[in-house]
Structure 1
């Protein structure tokens, strides 16, 4: 179709090897949605700083994703890019930096993620005073929320609009907040905002109990999966590895084995984009079939692995699913 140049290019040129795996995974994603099944996307790495929001926000708008699992870094870094984009600095020659040059970046308040430096003052501190007020107001009102719910409240309040430096339609967190998209953020405590929240707790200005925990995320996810999987299961589209993927995928064996709900359906689609070495006990590099032995995937679950760079692959798959 002439109206779908990206999809046409992929169909005509991505015919073998990892390129063909990308096409198979994208077609499998579309088929999954056509069968009226829901999809989870997990975000590891620094995909928000890589501006995945340009395609992921549209996936959210068009209801091509129904729940997101992400690291605390991806949760906050999309908002940081939203409010401080003009202050980011790109370092194309990052491989050549000396320890002294790295130290110089630190002293300038520039925290490096590969070739991109996040501006600490404009990003972290611009958000901090506003999110602290939301944390404190909730605590004073006896509320307890999940990390992402506080950020949704921040974005939906409109208070951050004065700082926007990109078109908000390219922020996946803005779109997620609008829809109150279901989300889990395992290990949020190791993020910058998690560290900031902990510092307030250490100083006695906030209570740790104001923030709901990872165990409560798992309990919530168990209910969500049970309510939404029906007998079809949910799809699982994993970008990278680590806790963003491992945490949510474990909900199925927990329900089946620990809760003894033997009618719980397995995840009904699985795709992982990863360049991790497929060996040596690595979860990120585990082939999908290994997940059968853990009670996560069924024998017949469609399984795909694209061994490549997620910053290249994910936008292409999303573009294909969206018909771009």
Structure 2
């Protein structure tokens, strides 16, 4: 064992020898090998990984250049910042499985929105961000400028306007780390988020133009250009946390370039790992095994492929700890 490995890595290597545990170890070593050979990595974030505080490990991955690009849901884009500015106001409900419909209604009445065992406070999280992001949207709208959803978030973070609210160590915010590095993000289906809904409300009221926000199609066109420019050499790996649109959207850029744009020399994704508890079943896109992606022109027959059928909130920080030699 390499001497620079920390205790978490040593524990994983000693204990994680079979089944999903071994798949975790293999995926981590494959990720590390991909980077060591000069490859780049996309990480995709589904679900509520930001509210699960993945930022504690992901922010350090970003700072140490272990990730080149991120694809995430609109929820993950905003919820990391919400945790940054409203952490002390979150409410934990360990007995969430026992809640009755009345209990859930009471949480709503008290302006708490529940994500499994964690309730996000509406006033301190959503509304605290709303006034600041609205000002940035409005400035762009007035100037006839257009940006992507994540670019507006970067502007807000880098302006320092939120620093007055910080309630966690800012080094644990992956969005802040990403903004400081200016790493690219794609946010498919951003409209399906609280800030997306808020933006839509201003459009409906006639206060903002829908075109002030760049669209998902523009994200795909941007990603096609980025992939083409960055896939030389070892190529780009794909590390998918959970299922859903955060993974489904960006992985399709390869078959689009090859089949629809007829760029016959475009390389496949050169590493693939998915952490998911979505079972392999009829029509389950998130539960599709990696080999199925070969038939769609996403992965090559020789692409290293890993699937860890487990809880991403447990698995992802352990894989990141290995890559960070913790």
TM bin, normalised by shorter chain, reads over 0.9
Q: CA deviation at 1:3?
A: 5.3
Alignment of 1:144-159 (within 5 A): 144-159=146-161
Kept in 2, the 8 Å contact 1:72–1:185? The answer is yes
Normalised by the length of structure 2, the TM-score is: 0.99
Kept in 2, the 8 Å contact 1:186–1:247? The answer is yes
Partner residue, 1:189: 191
2:257 paired residue among 248, 255, 258: 255
- Return the alpha-carbon distance in structure 2 between the equivalents of residues 42 and 235 of structure 1: 11
Q: CA deviation at 1:230?
A: 1.2
Q: Deviations over 1:127-155 (max 9, x none)?
A: 00000000000111121000000000000
Kept in 1, the 8 Å contact 2:43–2:238? The answer is yes
2:230 equivalent to 1:228: yes
- Return the alpha-carbon distance in structure 2 between the equivalents of residues 228 and 275 of structure 1: 31
Unaligned runs of 5+ in 2: none
Kept in 1, the 8 Å contact 2:38–2:233? The answer is no
2:28 equivalent to 1:21: no
Partner residue, 2:301: 299
Q: CA deviation at 1:223?
A: 0.1
- Return the alpha-carbon distance in structure 2 between the equivalents of residues 198 and 46 of structure 1: 22
Runs of 4+ more than 4 Å apart: none
Kept in 2, the 8 Å contact 1:292–1:299? The answer is yes
- Return the alpha-carbon distance in structure 2 between the equivalents of residues 284 and 3 of structure 1: 33
- Return the alpha-carbon distance in structure 2 between the equivalents of residues 232 and 259 of structure 1: 22
Q: CA deviation at 1:232?
A: 3.1
Partner residue, 1:215: 217
Normalised by the length of structure 1, the TM-score is: 0.99
SS of equivalent to 1:159: coil
- Return the alpha-carbon distance in structure 1 between the equivalents of residues 62 and 32 of structure 2: 15
Partner residue, 1:68: 70
2:88 equivalent to 1:114: no
How many residue pairs are counted as aligned between the two chains?
324
Partner residue, 2:206: 204
Q: Deviations over 1:172-231 (max 9, x none)?
A: 000000011111000000100000000000000000000000000000000000000014
- Return the alpha-carbon distance in structure 2 between the equivalents of residues 231 and 202 of structure 1: 47
2:60 equivalent to 1:58: yes
Partner residue, 1:169: 171
1:79 paired residue among 78, 81, 103: 81
Q: Deviations over 1:48-104 (max 9, x none)?
A: 000000000000000000000000000000000000000001000000000000000
- Return the alpha-carbon distance in structure 2 between the equivalents of residues 3 and 198 of structure 1: 48
Instruction: Give the RMSD, CA atoms, in angstroms.
Output: 0.7
- Return the alpha-carbon distance in structure 2 between the equivalents of residues 182 and 193 of structure 1: 19
